[in-house]
Structure 1
Amino acid sequence: MIDLVIVGAGPAGLGAAISAAENGLEVCILDEFVKPGGRLLGQLHEEPDGKWVNGITEAQKLYERAIQLGVNIQCGVSVYDLIKTDNGWCVYTTDRTIESKCLLLATGASETPIPVPGWTLPGVMSIGAAQVMGNVHRVKPGEKGIIIGVNVLSVAIARELQLCGVHIESILLPEPSLVSGDHSNPEKMMESLLRLTHLAPSPIIRFGGKWVNPKLGARLYPKNGFKMWGIPIQLRKTALEIVGKNQVEGVRTAEISATGDVIKGTEKVVSADFVCIAGGLTPMSELAAVAGCSYSYVPELGGHVPIHNEFMQTNLKGLYVSGNITGVESAKVARAQGKVAGLSIARELNAIKASTDEVIDNAIKEVIETRRNALIQFQPGIEEAREELHDKFYESIEKESRSKIKLS
């Protein structure tokens, strides 16, 4: 039996492995992808200070440090079941069964698809798939693309695709429907867009973003949109259908009102050889459900997340979570959460030698500071939502304790 198994070799998993191994724990990381790094592998962006961040390079640094500390990293291995035992956890994988004293789930997030007529045509992909093609595999997804879905993810990756030499014709909204929900609402998407104005190359847009009211902004938003890095972001146009015979040839669009109603007679086909659909991210928490974790639905964090505290502990002994499984945030926040989880696990196993509480408290403060300084916030109210989630954790523990007292 080893000390710790980590599922997920992204920034959270690698960060946890490093902090745990630095305290003498025997650690094994499992990941279904062929390379460690997770979503870091697809990232390439410029920080406000002008410094470029290459996710592949950052992932390599974490990988090398983990290997140096003796962490066993197994890629191309999937986990399909988890069972709580008297002494810890039994992890069932496509390679073998592993027993560990503690278990950390750092499985990240998955993309939320938005069905659009014609989305089964060759050349249609998720925005994340296009990012991986361009930044990881160095393959252009196409020459001229249209992105359906205006959000933090689509705007950020549109810039990355542009840096790959791809022409992005426009970013526009999906057609209003029960499935697309707020993703097709110009006012709601205006709120999302305003959280990105600090990234705009134009000082006018950066300044104006601080003062624009979302509802007023959606009504006054020009029909041809505003441009960021030369890419038109169109909140008053919608994608009705992806067209083509044997592959993508274009998108049939139409103008919409500020409330999302399609304006008849404005339809036209815009040519493109690939289309990306961006529906946002949702915590990938299936394994936590298999393990038996308690859940809470938190829109600010992207959906259903395992209930946990600031130490990244769940309501199940020896089971921890970190990264986007706990709520969709940046890779830097995920890495900082991983550090907290690794230290908390080391404390549970009595491996931290000195100043235990101080070390972990400082790591928690680092998470909070990293969150507040994050370049991109996927949703508003994340900090408050996390505090409420932590309160739910302690409430659930208190209820469980009361139940045990009654039974005894």
Structure 2
Amino acid sequence: MWNLVIIGAGPAGLMAGIAAAENGVAVKVIDEFPRPGGRLLGQLHEEPNGEWWNGIKESENLEERAVSLGVEIECETSVYNLEKIETGWRIYTSNGIIDTVHLLLATGASETHIPLPGWTLPGVMSIGAAQVMGNVHRVKPGNTCIIIGANVLSMAIANELKLCGVDVKAIILPVTEQIEKEAGQPQEVLASLMRLTHLAPSPLLKQLGKLGKHVPVSFATKFYPSNGLKMNGIPIKLKTAVTEIIGEDVVEGVKTVKINTAGEPVPGTEKIETADVVCISGGLTPMAELASVAGCSFKYVEALGGHIPVHNEKMETTLPDLYVSGNITGVESSKVAMEQGKVAGLTIASKVIGSSPALTESIKHAVQNVEKVRAAALIQFHPEIEKERKTLYQDYQQNA
């Protein structure tokens, strides 16, 4: 019987294990991937201060700290069921059954896919898969690339693909009829980009954010250039949509059409754009399946990426001895996930070894640090994150 088992060896899970183990808690971390790190492994970008954020290095540092504290990390292990037992939780895995007093779900987020004709061709992949190929495996995804889907995630990874030597020809919208309307409507997409704060990951997005404070989005959309605006040399075409991905045995490009401000195709403007890799970016959604299996209360929060297990600022769910941290609680940056993991680890430690003034103060400080790191995040997926989290915490109080 373990004091604490953590499902997910990403930034939130590893940091939670470190925080708990530092306070004498026996911790086991399990993950289905062959190595620890989660989404950290694919991240490589330059910070505003000029320093480089290398996710592989960060994950290695976290793993070393955890192991040095006695945390047991078991990779290549999948979890298929959870069961509440009298002494805590029983976890059913591909490598057997594990019992624990406390259970932390740090399962992260998964990509949302946009189905388009031709999306099963070799050479078509999610934007996250391209990121992993280049940054983790050091394999160049292709020579020329077209990205379908204009959002914070695609724009951030587009720069990383350029670092790999990929010629990113354009970021283009998907055609409206084939997906949720918002992702294919220029006005909706531009509105989401204009709401980004000064912390957005490019000068273009910063300018769009400033523009959104002074002019209506309908006006900005009307005068948005049909050939797009460039972000680090990459055209963002909000008045062009992909109708089909083309190729015989492998991807060869996409069929596009001009669209009006409502996302409707303009007849006679069809065109073919060539590329040997096509990346689809539909955003991220919390991976909360195990929380659902466990019986957690849920709330749908658009600003956080979808259905979220109801929890409080200490990462406690409405179920006894079950906690969450990281992107399962809402899609944010890895740095926020790590701080949430620290909160969860300290909270669980206070349950295992007993509360003390020092530990109570540490938890309070850790909760405050989550807010500070969130406010300073380089990439923010939605402008209403802080507001919606406070509402979610109020819901926890009502359900607890």
CA-atom RMSD in angstroms? 1.4
**Pair 1:120 & 2:120 matched:** yes
The 5-angstrom pairing of residues 6-25 of structure 1 reads 6-25=6-25
Secondary structure of 1:300 counterpart: helix
| 2:277 paired residue number | 274
The 5-angstrom pairing of residues 82-161 of structure 1 reads 82-161=82-161
Q: Which amino acid aligns with 2:26?
A: E
| 1:302 paired residue number | 305
Query: 1:192, CA displacement in angstroms?
Result: 2.8
| 2:337 paired residue number | 334
Structure 2: distance between partners of 1:69 and 1:198: 35
Query: 1:196, CA displacement in angstroms?
Result: 7.1
Q: Is the 8 A contact 2:47 2:53 kept in 1?
A: yes
Change (3 A) 1:391 1:205: closer
Q: Which amino acid aligns with 2:121?
A: L
Query: 1:350, CA displacement in angstroms?
Result: 2.7
| 1:221 paired residue number | 224
Query: 1:336, CA displacement in angstroms?
Result: 0.3
Q: TM-score, normalised by structure 1?
A: 0.94
Q: Which amino acid aligns with 2:228?
A: G
Query: 1:219, CA displacement in angstroms?
Result: 1.4
Q: Is the 8 A contact 2:24 2:353 kept in 1?
A: no
The 5-angstrom pairing of residues 26-41 of structure 1 reads 26-41=26-41
Secondary structure of 1:227 counterpart: strand
Q: Is the 8 A contact 1:174 1:180 kept in 2?
A: no
Q: Is the 8 A contact 1:9 1:30 kept in 2?
A: yes
Superposed CA offset, 1:75-102 (max 9, x none): 1111111101111011111011111110
Q: Is the 8 A contact 1:152 1:196 kept in 2?
A: no
The 5-angstrom pairing of residues 7-406 of structure 1 reads 7-177=7-177, 179-194=179-194, 195=196, 199=200, 202=203, 206-207=206-207, 209-212=209-212, 213-351=216-354, 354-397=357-400
Q: Is the 8 A contact 2:150 2:171 kept in 1?
A: yes
Query: 1:259, CA displacement in angstroms?
Result: 1.4
Superposed CA offset, 1:302-324 (max 9, x none): 00010001110001100000000
Structure 1: distance between partners of 2:205 and 2:13: 37
Query: 1:229, CA displacement in angstroms?
Result: 1.1
Which consecutive unaligned segments of at least 5 residues does structure 1 have? 398-408
Q: Which amino acid aligns with 1:272?
A: A
Q: Is the 8 A contact 1:21 1:69 kept in 2?
A: yes
Query: 1:326, CA displacement in angstroms?
Result: 0.4
Q: Is the 8 A contact 2:200 2:380 kept in 1?
A: no
Structure 1: distance between partners of 2:97 and 2:252: 48
Q: Is the 8 A contact 2:197 2:383 kept in 1?
A: no
Structure 1: distance between partners of 2:93 and 2:135: 29
Q: Which amino acid aligns with 2:275?
A: A
Structure 2: distance between partners of 1:200 and 1:105: 29
Query: 1:47, CA displacement in angstroms?
Result: 1.0
Which consecutive unaligned segments of at least 5 residues does structure 2 have? none
Q: Is the 8 A contact 2:6 2:17 kept in 1?
A: yes
Change (3 A) 1:208 1:100: closer
Superposed CA offset, 1:87-135 (max 9, x none): 1011111011111110000000000001111101111100000000000
Structure 1: distance between partners of 2:217 and 2:50: 29
Q: Which amino acid aligns with 1:387?
A: K
Change (3 A) 1:384 1:24: same
Q: Is the 8 A contact 2:143 2:167 kept in 1?
A: yes
- Runs of 4+ in structure 1 off by over 6 angstroms are none
Q: Is the 8 A contact 1:23 1:352 kept in 2?
A: no
Structure 2: distance between partners of 1:375 and 1:144: 27
Structure 2: distance between partners of 1:373 and 1:200: 12
Query: 1:198, CA displacement in angstroms?
Result: 5.2
Superposed CA offset, 1:332-374 (max 9, x none): 0000000000011011113555423211110000001111111
Change (3 A) 1:220 1:198: farther
Q: Is the 8 A contact 1:42 1:56 kept in 2?
A: yes
Change (3 A) 1:34 1:196: farther
* Mean CA deviation greater in 145-154 or 344-353: 344-353
Q: TM-score, normalised by structure 2?
A: 0.96
| 1:2 paired residue number | 2
Change (3 A) 1:77 1:376: same
